[in-house]
Amino acid sequence: MQMLADVTTPEIEDVEAIISAKDVSVFYGDKQALNNVNLDIPANQITSLIGPSGCGKSTFLRCLNRMNDTVFGCRVEGNITLDGQDIYAPEVDEVLLRARVGMVFQKPNPFPKSIYDNVAYGPRIHGLTRDKDELDEVVLTSLEKAGLLKEVKDRLNATGTGLSGGQQQRLCIARALAVQPDIILMDEPCSALDPIATARIEELIEELRENYTIIIVTHSMQQAARISQKTAFFHMGEIVEVGDTEQLFTNPRDDRTQGYITGRFG
Amino acid sequence: MTDTSTPGKKTDWASPQLLAKVAQRQRAEKRFRRLGLSAIVIALAMLATLLFSIAGKGYSAFYQTRLVMDVTFSEAVIDPKGTRNEDDLRAAGYGGIVRDTLRETFPDVKSRKDLRELFALVSKGAPMQLRDMVLDNPDLIGQTVPVDFIAGDDIDMFNKGFIPRDVPEGDRRVKDMEIAWFDQLDAVGAVKMVFNSTFFTSGDSREPELAGIWGAISGSFYTLIVTFLISFPIGVMSAIYLEEFAPQNKFTDLIEVNINNLAAVPSIVFGLLGLALFLNVAHLPRSAPLVGGLTLALMTLPTIIIASRAAIRAVPDSIREAALGLGASKQQTAFHHVLPLSMPGILTGTIIGLSQALGETAPLLMIGMVAFIVDIPGGFTDAATVLPVQIFLWADSPERAFVEKTSGAILVLLGFLIFMNALAVLLRKKFERRW
Ligand SMILES: Nc1ncnc2c1ncn2[C@@H]1O[C@H](COP(=O)(O)OP(=O)(O)OP(=O)(O)O)[C@@H](O)[C@H]1O
Ligand SMILES: [Mg+2]
């Protein structure tokens, strides 16, 4: 499989890779969850990770911002670089890394605080703004970018957990944007949402592509096909196939990819 | 029954076996509900019995018999020099005035023995009562005014009906003669029952009618402050460290097991530890709220740690991930999000721990807080006692009048406990969160 992965990469070589994973293996205790994964993430593109449940998509995503560090017994091997720098190098501050590589989770998880404080939290702890006016500005533009401002602008002090599921997820996106990351990781951001809210978020992701690099895990083939430029198919802890989204969906090289996208297994 | 599970065959839900099974299940459920209900009824009945018996015995402690007599504040006795100097007024012989008052009210009593009985009609505190009146208002000197004397404890008991008239004279503490005097006063309306403010404002006393719980309440207050100041920060910090930062290894497990064990250690053991540590090694003052508070803090710590850990664990991981994902450090995550969210639970646990400490007696006996202390403690190092120890002391006293004081003090203690626990419930209700 590794051969396959290597073969497919050259096709998108023309775009500069911002993240590059080489031979990444992840273990939870004795259990191996990822086995020698190689993947380049092109800058300012949307990369989607697809694959059957339990194949290691979330695990891979959480390696990219070292969220796995917080999981007891989790061990990461291999090499992941961000802008050419090894993110697992001892001198790297993982807290700062997480500010550069934002994350949106599967289940919306706003803080039980006001909408304003939710968005302002990141800039506050990183000291990104000098005064209240500047902070207001950041909060409003982040909400605007996340397409939530219109709905909440006259209740910024209402609690974030009181919003609808879709609104909460957009609030979480706004919260991630407020830190001004380079990369945003999204782990099934639409799985708890109805089709209309999903469409809004997809629209939003496409808009964000201009300024951010986005990696999204999704269970919806259509979603992957609609929004991403590059797709990686995971299976049993390995990348079976990776390539141009259009090519992967219309003309997969591997039988397993074919089987998965046509719904024969997964 | 076996054939119902064979594939292809339809279950006959109306078959006698299945119906019998349903009936059996319904009977079992009814039986269980009845058992549960009776368990609750029994528990409530016991609680009610306890409360009623204590309240029945204790409510009379909140009232006090007063004997009204005309007192002549003779200038010749109180202030012969006429200077109205406060020190002179303080040192004057008010005992003589009390005796004169009684002699004038009952002119027939002549013999020394009878007079001694007569003087016991009013409390030993009567001279102090007069002194305080004069110090309060020196204009009284030279006047004759009616004064509400606190009755002696035997008369008080008699008036409250605890000493019946119809037993033979030899078997009761109030003699026929005293009853006659009492009746004489009663006949002219000079016997009053008033709210017993002494009980709530004074410290302990050998005289039941002068004894109060304010000293013990103050002692409990200072003790609990020390307990809170020590056990809350240490407990919460330990809980946060153990839950959020400690590596998961054998050593952490060992600590966890030991904390749980400590919570189950009998409180007297903590008293012995306090004695050894704070008195014998650190040489802190004996009987002081400081030492009592430290000792109770040792006892309360495990409770607070356990409750805090449970509250911290109840904060969903998604909140931690949200904060970490934004680039918050572990410490920022713990203090900005986890701690505030678990605070209601932590406070509830703390209040419950403190109310346990408030009701604790045994460890305090070990560090000398069981002494007879009249003065109201004014600080953390003054000799003091606490409410439950005061109850213990009074329950041990032979005087009939201390029985009602004991129950009265228990009522007050129960009041504080109910208040604290209600506060805990209220906090929990108010900040209850659904995720
Ligand atoms: N914290 C953990 N401890 C132990 N094993 C884990 C942990 N998290 C994930 N795993 C295991 O690692 C493997 C990959 O899990 P992962 O969550 O990455 O799958 P996934 O592709 O995201 O699945 P899904 O689509 O269902 O979210 C699974 O077998 C899972 O059981
Ligand atoms: Mg997943």
Q: What is the dihedral of CA B276, B278, B284, B288, to 10 degrees?
A: -100
How many A from CA of A234 to the centre of ligand 1?
12
Contacts of residue B319 in chain A, CB cutoff 8 Å? 109, 111-112
Tens-digit pLDDT profile for residues A28-45: 999 999 999 999 999 999
Instruction: Please check whether residue A79 is in contact with residue A25, taking contact to mean a CB–CB distance below 8 angstroms.
Output: no
| pLDDT of B84 strictly over 90 | no
Q: What is the pLDDT of residue A146?
A: 87
Q: What is the pLDDT of residue A4?
A: 44
Q: What is the dihedral of CA A76, A81, A85, A87, to 10 degrees?
A: -30
Pocket test for ligand 1, best of A59, A69, A74, A218 (most atoms within 8 A of CB): A59
User: What is the share, in percent, of chain A residues with pLDDT greater than 70?
Assistant: 94
Q: What is the pLDDT of residue B24?
A: 95
Q: Which atom of ligand 1 is nearest to the CA of A57?
A: 21
Q: Does residue B320 belong to the interface with chain A, where contact is any CB pair within 8 Å?
A: yes
Confidence band, pLDDT 50/70/90 cuts, at residue B334: very high
Sheet with B191-195, edge to edge strand ranges:
B144-150, B63-72, B191-195
Confidence band, pLDDT 50/70/90 cuts, at residue B38: very high
CATH number 3.40.50.300 given to A4-261: yes
Nearest residue on chain B to A72, judged by CA atoms? B248
Tens-digit pLDDT profile for residues A147-197: 899 999 899 999 999 999 889 999 999 999 999 999 999 999 988 778 888
Tens-digit pLDDT profile for residues A195-248: 888 898 899 899 888 889 999 999 999 999 999 999 999 999 999 999 999 999
- Nearest C-alpha of chain B: how many angstroms from A257? 31
> Between β-strands A46-50 and A74-82, what pairing exists: parallel, antiparallel or unpaired?
unpaired
Give the separation between CA B277 and CA B298, rounded to whole angstroms.
11
Inter-chain residue contact A107 with B318, CB threshold 8 Å? yes
Ligand 1: which residue has its CA nearest to atom 2?
A28
Q: Which of B316, B320, B326 sits opposite A176 (nearest CB)?
A: B326
Nearest residue on chain A to B338, judged by CA atoms? A111
Q: What is the pLDDT of residue A119?
A: 96
Confidence band, pLDDT 50/70/90 cuts, at residue B6: low
Pocket test for ligand 1, best of A26, A58, A63, A233 (most atoms within 8 A of CB): A58
Across-strand partners of A242? A232
Residue range(s) in chain B whose domain bears CATH number 1.10.3720.10: 214-431
Inter-chain residue contact A176 with B325, CB threshold 8 Å? yes
Instruction: Please check whether residue B363 is in contact with residue A106, taking contact to mean a CB–CB distance below 8 angstroms.
Output: no
Tens-digit pLDDT profile for residues B160-172: 988 888 888 888 8
Q: What is the pLDDT of residue B428?
A: 82
Fold that domain B214-431 belongs to in CATH: MetI-like fold (1.10.3720)
Alpha helix stretches (DSSP H) within A129-251: 132-145, 149-152, 165-177, 195-208, 221-227, 245-250
Counting ligands in written order, the one closest to the CA of A234 is 1
Tens-digit pLDDT profile for residues A104-136: 998 999 999 999 999 999 999 999 999 999 999
Lowest model confidence (mean pLDDT) among B130-144, B235-249, B304-318: B130-144
